[in-house]
Chains A and B, each alone.
Chain A
Amino acid sequence: MAAPSAAGLGRRLRAWLPRLTQVRWTRYNPSFLEPEVNKELYRKPWDELSEEEKEKQELRALQPIKAAPPSVSCSVFSDPMISKFTNMMMKNGNKVLARSLMAQTLEAIKRKQLEKYHKAPEDEKEKIECNPYVIFHQALKNCQPIIGLSNITKGGKTYQVPVPLKDNRKRFLAMKWLITECRENKHRRMLMPEKLSQELLLAFNNEGPIIKKKHVLHKMAEANRAYAHFRWW
C-alpha cells in the first residue's frame, strides 16, 4: 500500500529528484479538461444551477475538452463501476471476452434472484432484490475495507501500520479481491460467470470469503493499533 503525500510535498519531490523525468505523459495539452457525459446536467436551465456549478460551467466553456474514451457512453447501460471491473477482469486486451463474461455474470445473478423470488412466500417477495446492478454495487460496497495496512520502516524494523484508505484504493481493493478469489478458489470446470455471481450474492448478504478477508484485515489493523502514531501523513 503506497504512502500518499500532500500536494505541495509531491510537487517539491518531483522537482527535487532531477534524474527522474516524467515518464507518464499524455498526448493532450495539460489544459484540457475531462468530458462530462451525463446529458441531464446539460438539460438543466440556467436558474436552477447553484453558484459553484455556474462558475464551473463558465470555466468549462473556455477550456478545451478531451475526447470521450470508447468505453464511455451516455446510454443508461454504461456504468463506470462496471466498466472498471470489466477492464480489471480483462486479460491480454481481450475486451470482447471480458464484456461477455460480465454480461453473463449479471444474467446469472438475475436468474438466481428470480428463482428465489418465485419460490418465496408473498410477504418476503418484496425484500428480494432482483436488479443485478444494485446487487453488484451493494456487494462491492460491502467488500470495501475501511482501513488498510502500510509498511513503514523505522529503526531497521518494518512495521505494519494501520492507515486510512482513499476511496479509489478501497474500490480497487474490493474489485481485486473479488477477481482473485474467483480465479483461484474454484472448481476446475466451473466457469467464471457462475463463480462470480455466487461470490457477488454472498457479498451482497455480507457472507463469503471476501467479507472474511476484509474482516481479517480490519482485525490486523486493530491489533497493530499501537503503531498508528508511526504514520506521518
Chain B
Amino acid sequence: TLRLIYTTTAAWKKNVAASGPEKYTEAFIKKQIEEFNLGKRHLANMMGEDPETFTQEDIDRAIAYLFPSGLFDKRARPMMKHPTEIFPEQRKIQWGEDGRPFHFLFYTGKQSYYSLMHDTYEKLLNVQKHQDQLAAQDLPPQKEKKNLVGSRWLTKTELEEMLLEKLSDDDYSRFIQLLQKLVMMPCGNIEENYIKKFSREISAQLQKVVIEPLKYDEQGVAFSTGEGARKTSRATVTVYDNGTGKITVNGIDVLHYFPVLQDREQLLFPFQFLDRVGKHDMVCTVSGGGRSSQAGAIRLASAKALRSFVTEKEVESMRQAGLLTVDPRVKERKKPGQEGARRKFTWKKR
C-alpha cells in the first residue's frame, strides 16, 4: 500500500478552470424563482401598484427609478429578471450513479448532434423505402412540393440553443444539407411534421412600414416629406406635385450644388425609376458628410417621400431596387498597431 508522505499547498487549491462552467442544481433554480416572485410582490407593494398585475415592463421601470445608473452598457445596469433568463439553460447530469452514461452516443462528445443526425437519416431512409414501395406498385410519386419560399431553416445559434450543445460551422452546414436532401425528395411530405421543427416562417417585409398620406399646402398643391441619411449626412426633402422637375438644395440650384454628373444621376434615380422625371419639384436641406454621401442621403429621402404618391406595388418594386434601404456602410475605425483600418505599417525585416 502507498501512503501519502509529502504534499504541496498547490494540491489543496481547487482548480477553478478545470471544473468547467458553474453548474446550478434544480433546487437552486427553484429557490431563485420563489425569491424572484416574492421580490416582485414586494416591489409592487413599494411602488404602490397591484402585486397581481405587475408585468416585467413595470419591474424594469421600477428598478430604473429606484436604482438610477449612468453606465453606458445596458447589461451592466441593475436588472431584475426571471431566473430562466439570467441563468443559462444547462443539461442535467448525463450519467447515473454507477458512472455509466445514459445516452449511447455520450462518448462522441456531441451526443445530441449525432443523435439528431441519426434521426434525420432514419427519416430519409423511410422516405426512400416509401418511394421504392410506390415504384414497385407502379404508382406515380407524389409531387406536392412544400413551398420553401416563406420559411427559413434554423440559424446556428437557434440550433445550439435547441440542442444545448456547441456546434461547429461544418456540423451545422452538414445538418442543413441533410434537411435539404430530405425536402428535395419527391415523397418528402411524409416527414413534414419532423421538418417543421427545424424551419421558421419569414413574414413579409412591407407590413412594418406605415406610408404617410399626402399633405396639401396653401395653394392646394400636394406635397410630402422624407428624411434620409448616408454615412454622416442627414437630409430632409419635400417633394411637391405638379412641378417642372426643379430641384433646390440648401437654397442653391442643383446644378451649382452638385457639379458632378454622378451625384445628379443619383438624385434623379427615384424619379426615373417611377417614370416621373419632370412632374415633381423638390426642395431639400442637407448637412454633413461629403458630396457623394449627401447625394445618397437626398436620394433616400426623396424615395421615402415619393412613397406617398405611388401605389403599393411600386413601393415594393422601389424596395427591391434598393432605393428604400438605409446604407449601413460607415467609415471603419482605425486600429492601434496599424496605420489605417486595414493597412498595416510597412514590414521591415530588421
Q: Tell me how many residues of B have a C-beta within 8 Å of chain A.
A: 39
> When the two chains form their complex, are residues A95 and B330 in contact, meaning their CB atoms are under 8 A apart?
no
> When the two chains form their complex, are residues A64 and B322 in contact, meaning their CB atoms are under 8 A apart?
no
- Interface membership of B320, Cβ < 8 A: yes
> When the two chains form their complex, are residues A61 and B322 in contact, meaning their CB atoms are under 8 A apart?
no
> When the two chains form their complex, are residues B320 and A73 in contact, meaning their CB atoms are under 8 A apart?
no
Contact of B273 among A39, A58, A61, A62 (CB under 8 A): A39
Residues of B within 8 A of A (CB): 149-150, 152, 168-170, 173, 202-205, 260-262, 265-266, 268-269, 272-273, 275, 292, 295-296, 300, 314, 316-317, 319-323, 325-330
> Which residue, of B149, B173, B268, B275, has the highest number of chain A Cβ atoms within 10 A?
B149
Nearest-Cβ distance from residue A35 to partner chain B, whole angstroms: 3
- Interface membership of A66, Cβ < 8 A: yes
> When the two chains form their complex, are residues B265 and A64 in contact, meaning their CB atoms are under 8 A apart?
no
- Interface membership of A60, Cβ < 8 A: yes
> When the two chains form their complex, are residues A64 and B260 in contact, meaning their CB atoms are under 8 A apart?
no
Nearest-Cβ distance from residue B36 to partner chain A, whole angstroms: 35
Nearest-Cβ distance from residue A28 to partner chain B, whole angstroms: 6
> When the two chains form their complex, are residues B149 and A59 in contact, meaning their CB atoms are under 8 A apart?
yes
Nearest-Cβ distance from residue A85 to partner chain B, whole angstroms: 15
Contact of B266 among A28, A55, A70, A96 (CB under 8 A): A70
Which residue on A lies nearest to B295, using beta carbons? Answer: A70
| Interface size of A as a range | 20 to 34
Residues of B within 8 A of A12 (CB): 170
Evaluate whether A74 and B173 lie within 8 angstroms (CB atoms) in the complex, with A58-B149, A67-B327, A95-B262 already known. Answer: no
Contact of A78 among B265, B275, B300 (CB under 8 A): B265
Contact of A65 among B149, B314, B320 (CB under 8 A): B320
Tell me, in angstroms, the Cα distance from A188 to B268 when the chains sit together: 40
> When the two chains form their complex, are residues A28 and B169 in contact, meaning their CB atoms are under 8 A apart?
no
Tell me, in angstroms, the Cα distance from A174 to B316 when the chains sit together: 38
Residues of A within 8 A of B202 (CB): 62-63
Which residue on B lies nearest to A15, using beta carbons? Answer: B170
Tell me, in angstroms, the Cα distance from A65 to B203 when the chains sit together: 14
Q: What are the 7 tightest A-B residue pairs by CB atom distance, in nearest-first order? A: A35-B322, A68-B322, A42-B317, A67-B327, A67-B325, A27-B328, A15-B170
Which residue on A lies nearest to B203, using beta carbons? Answer: A62
Residues of A within 8 A of B (CB): 11-12, 14-15, 27-28, 31, 35-37, 39, 42, 55, 58-68, 70-71, 73-75, 77-78, 95-96, 99
Nearest-Cβ distance from residue B174 to partner chain A, whole angstroms: 10
Write 6 A-B pairs (CB below 8 A) sorted by A numbering.
Answer: A28-B328, A35-B322, A42-B317, A65-B320, A70-B262, A99-B262
> When the two chains form their complex, are residues B330 and A27 in contact, meaning their CB atoms are under 8 A apart?
yes
Residues of A within 8 A of B204 (CB): 61-62
Which residue on B lies nearest to A54, using beta carbons? Answer: B149
Residues of B within 8 A of A42 (CB): 314, 317, 320-321
Tell me, in angstroms, the Cα distance from A154 to B31 when the chains sit together: 68
Residues of B within 8 A of A35 (CB): 320-323, 325
| 9 further interface pairs, Cβ-Cβ under 8 Å (given A35-B322, A39-B317) | A15-B168, A15-B169, A39-B272, A62-B150, A66-B325, A71-B262, A73-B272, A74-B321, A75-B272
Tell me, in angstroms, the Cα distance from A42 to B296 when the chains sit together: 23
Nearest-Cβ distance from residue B293 to partner chain A, whole angstroms: 9
Residues of A within 8 A of B316 (CB): 61
Residues of A within 8 A of B266 (CB): 70, 73
Which residue on A lies nearest to B327, using beta carbons? Answer: A67
Residues of B within 8 A of A71 (CB): 262
> When the two chains form their complex, are residues B326 and A67 in contact, meaning their CB atoms are under 8 A apart?
yes
Contact of B296 among A60, A65, A70, A78 (CB under 8 A): A70
Residues of A within 8 A of B273 (CB): 37, 39, 74
